[in-house]
Structure 1
Amino acid sequence: MSETTPLSFFEEDVTEEINHGIRVSNLAYYVGKELGLYENQCYELAVAGMVHDIGKLCVSGYLYGRHEDTLKIEEMKYVRMHPRLGYDLLMRYDFSDDVIETILYHHENYDGSGYPENLSGDQIPLGARILRVCDVYAALTSDRPYRRAFDADAAVELMIDEVKNFDIKVFLAFQRVIHEEQLADKWAIQRLKVRITEEDMK
């Protein structure tokens, strides 16, 4: 964190990232269930969802404390490194291959236009295809410093406009899940708050 970044801004950003991870985790788990995956596969999707953006810690200077909606082209190059940085980080720990590959490829688009490898179709691991849909929905339905959250219907409409990015089988399972009333609270906006002190930053 830079010396000019107010601590409260950093706390807000960290809180947002953790809450985003919780929402993606919950969504991914239930989309996996809807697709008929085994319980252990759904559990690994939940783990991957929780830590999918951990690589952003390595590029935090370009992200946290910023309250504008655009990044310079040079900065975007670094931000787009976060899936690989997350993969490299988690390789040091006892995560399964499925979890770390899901994290590495969660920004790949089904039509081949994503990153970091421009994979397409079934080249993209199923876990990453699931996380892609859940990540986009969780982001669209959350407040950002530069815009208010979209409601669920508007978010889905926006995603339909870009449906080429998604595995249609996964996308349809995702839609069934988000319309299950008894599950609605599983990806409601979280209220977890993070408190960071100056001592924590030393």
Structure 2
Amino acid sequence: MPTKESAAKDTASKAPQSHGDLHPVYPSMLLPERCGDFELYLAQGESMVLYASRGELFTPSHRERLAERGVERLYVRASEKEVFERFVQDNLGDVLADETIPVEERSSAWFDVTTSLAREAFDRNLPKSLNNVRFSRIKKILRESLPFFGRPEVLKSLSQFVAEGREFYHHGIGVMVLTAGVMNTIANEDTEHLVGVCSGALLHDVGKLTLPEHVFESHPDKLSAGDRELMQSHPVMGVSQCASVQLPQEALHCVLFHHEREDGSGYPSQAPGDVIPLCAKVVGMCDEYENLIRSKPWHEAFTPFEALSRIKEKSGMYDRDLLKRLILVLSRAEIM
């Protein structure tokens, strides 16, 4: 078997010579009774040796042996990084449910998979970047993720991963994680409803892909009348972007109504609070909070406490009960 140390000398010549040719992965991703269509390498001093061959069946002893030796990272070839990510994506439900894997490693695996899917959905260079195939993958990941989201320590861990990045999909992931936390305090028994709401949260800004990028580089209050009109069209454009995708109704509501406000001051329709769907209210509030804690060209990132204080100051714009629920979720996760 090529994993044994006695084979190190024979396999070293087959391994990449530079760490730059490799991508680090957690040993915990070697799920028992699974085969990976990629090679795994182990660092030994300055050399890289083959640890597992392509198609080799992983067993519990793989992880046990690595843990005994204190190995924190294995490596896949950079050229096989996407193959490994698809392997994790296909097995993510089992990864998230495995309590022997540290929360931080499961969070990292979830974030990598979700980022890859969200990047594809928001890719301006791909024709019809959001399609039914990609959306079905997103739904599958969300369906498998919901039980994982229900624990405060998970939200705390995930918050460290989603804080970075300025792309629309980074923000979408952050809003989705917060939305899942709040929705779990309201109704967590209807899985498909929660999947729909979370997918709407992830995609709520997809309409921005149709607009000039300069519109989102200035403070909203300093936009020209024309640019402000363009910016405020993105919820409607988002629904248009999703026209060919079988989005559930609650997801469409989140995309279309996430900028409506309780006092009727929102857009695109200035709808009052009593007609705004609850899920859209949650996404709208989490969207505002996430925008505040994320660095923008016109402001540094606010602390969670500062962001919540600013939302509280906007009296009448946000549902008070939902704001209390967001504060509770953040407090339990020790994020405040």
Per-residue CA deviations over 1:124-152 (Å, capped at 9, x if unaligned) read 01111000110000000010112101101
CA distance in 2, matches of 1:151, 1:95: 34
Which one has more relative contact order, counting CA pairs under 8 Å at least 6 apart? Answer: 1
316, 319, 330: which one pairs with 1:167? 319
In structure 1, give the amino acid aligned to 2:178. L
The structure with the largest helix share of the pair is: 1
Displacement after TM superposition at 1:23 (Å): 0.4
Partner of 1:165, secondary structure, is coil
221, 226, 240: which one pairs with 1:74? 226
CA distance in 2, matches of 1:61, 1:156: 28
Of stretches 77-86 and 39-48 in structure 1, the one that deviates more from structure 2 is 39-48
CA distance in 1, matches of 2:332, 2:224: 40
Aligned to 1:177: 329
Give aligned pairs, total. Answer: 169
Aligned to 2:301: 149
In structure 1, give the amino acid aligned to 2:280. A
Residues 1:36 and 2:187 are matched in the alignment? yes
The structure with the largest strand share of the pair is: 2
Percent identical among aligned pairs is 25
Displacement after TM superposition at 1:40 (Å): 2.3
Structure 2 runs not aligned, ≥5 long: 1-123, 125-164
Per-residue CA deviations over 1:149-169 (Å, capped at 9, x if unaligned) read 110111111000013111122
Structure 1 contact 33–39 (Cα < 8 Å) conserved: no
Aligned to 2:266: 114
CA distance in 2, matches of 1:41, 1:170: 18
Aligned to 1:49: 201
Partner of 2:265, secondary structure, is coil
TM-score, normalised by the number of residues in structure 2: 0.48
In structure 2, give the amino acid aligned to 1:32. M
Q: Which has the larger radius of gyration?
A: 2
Displacement after TM superposition at 1:35 (Å): 1.3
CA distance in 1, matches of 2:331, 2:194: 19
171, 174, 192: which one pairs with 1:20? 171
Partner of 2:184, secondary structure, is helix
Partner of 2:316, secondary structure, is helix
TM-score, normalised by the number of residues in structure 1: 0.78
Per-residue CA deviations over 1:35-90 (Å, capped at 9, x if unaligned) read 124332222221111110000011134436x3x43321211101100000001111
Displacement after TM superposition at 1:15 (Å): 4.2
Residues 1:99 and 2:251 are matched in the alignment? yes
Structure 2 contact 200–253 (Cα < 8 Å) conserved: no
Of stretches 107-116 and 89-98 in structure 1, the one that deviates more from structure 2 is 89-98
